[in-house]
Amino acid sequence: MKVVISVAPEKYRDKELAEPVAAINKAGIVFDIASTRPGPCTGMLGGKISAGISFEEIDPKSYDGLIIVGGSGCQTHLWGDNMLVQLARCFHESGKVVAAICLAPAVLARSGILKGKKATVYNSPAAFFEMKKGGAVLVGEPVVTDHRIITANGPAAARDFAAAVV
């Protein structure tokens, strides 16, 4: 099993990356880190990770799931990234796991895959707007699973989010 974890090149939420990585490693799942461009990425709290590939380089056939990490950089760098939006749609249409935490569920809303699906998102007016515009049925829970779509509302839910993904 192999998944791709997507992060913003700057200001991704450190815990929202660290918890899934730890759970995935423990489960023996292989993963790649992707971003808008390959190279160094910096977390909101100073964490450092290197994206091995860009979104354009992702071959969905090579992965079993897509995880999108939140943080303030998500809204700036990922919401409007057409390639990531298309990837979310492609993974979903292929019956693969698509997971997003914090502000990242807005990417799923923009992809159209949340229409009529239960989901959650970080408490932000802009994120709520995107979710409603995308047709999501917002649920006030930290982690929400609707078939193969998993969403979580922020860093406090990162551990449970990671467990749901695994």
> What average pLDDT values come out for the chain (166 residues) when binned by 10 residues?
97 98 97 98 97 97 98 97 98 98 98 98 97 97 97 98 97
Is the CB of residue 151 less than 8 Å from the CB of residue 157?
Answer: no
Is the CB of residue 73 less than 8 Å from the CB of residue 105?
Answer: no
Tokens coding 78 = 């990922």
**Residue owning tokens 């229409």:** 115
H or E stretch including 35?
strand 30-35
> What's the pLDDT score for residue 15?
98
Is the CB of residue 98 less than 8 Å from the CB of residue 164?
Answer: no
> What's the pLDDT score for residue 148?
97
> What's the pLDDT score for residue 146?
97
> What's the pLDDT score for residue 67?
98
Q: All domains of the chain, ordered by start, with CATH?
A: 2-165 (3.40.50.880)
